[in-house]
Amino acid sequence: MNQEVVKRAEDVINSMSEYKLGGMEGYAALSLIDENGFPSATTFCITRADGLKWLTFNTATDRPYAGRIAKNNKACVCINSDKYTINLVGTAEACTDMETKKENWLPMFENGVHWTGVDDPTLLILRFTTERYSITFADDGSYAAGNL
């Protein structure tokens, strides 16, 4: 049963990556520890994902996330709707290297709304790596929790 619930959650996460869904179901809340030592959550679209293992989010270098991660890289991601709640606990990394930027660049970014291109120095990739999870599906009440 646990593996079936995990597989369902991985399918949800993978279906959301690359901004595939849109709307509220298309967002994940990333929680980091802020400058005052308190949790602070921000919603992002998932850029890339490998099931429960890791997720990435694109943002800008002028936002506080890289500094928060440098001070304390512990993080949590929550993805939920009326159908499911997927809670992931792990660590975050702020990436600005070109290889990671290229891996997370999507054709939809070509319109230049946020960045001028994959080599834009303000493009920041947040990479979240899961250590443990808890998952609930509302339709059948199925639940799974564990470590990766």
Domains in the chain: ranges and CATH:
2-147 (2.30.110.10)
**C-alpha to C-alpha distances, 29 to 26, 139, 141, nearest whole angstrom:** 10, 22, 22
**23 pLDDT band (50/70/90 cuts)?**
very low
What pLDDT does 19 receive?
A: 72
pTM greater than the 0.85 cutoff: yes
CB 93, CB 70: distance < 8 Å: no
Query: How high is the pLDDT of residue 14?
Result: 92
At residue 112, the pLDDT reads 66
pLDDT digits (tens, 9 = 90+) for 38-84: 999 999 989 999 999 999 999 999 999 999 999 999 999 999 999 99
Residue 25 is predicted with a pLDDT of: 53
What's the pLDDT score for residue 24?
Answer: 43
Residue with tokens 């967002």: 27
Q: Does an H or E element contain 147, and which? A: strand 143-147
pLDDT at residue number 140: 96
Residue-wise pLDDT tens digits, 85-141: 999 999 999 999 999 999 998 877 777 677 888 999 999 999 999 999 999 999 999
Query: Where do the DSSP E strands lie in 5-142?
Result: 27-33, 39-45, 48-50, 54-60, 74-80, 84-95, 123-137
- At residue 116, the pLDDT reads 85
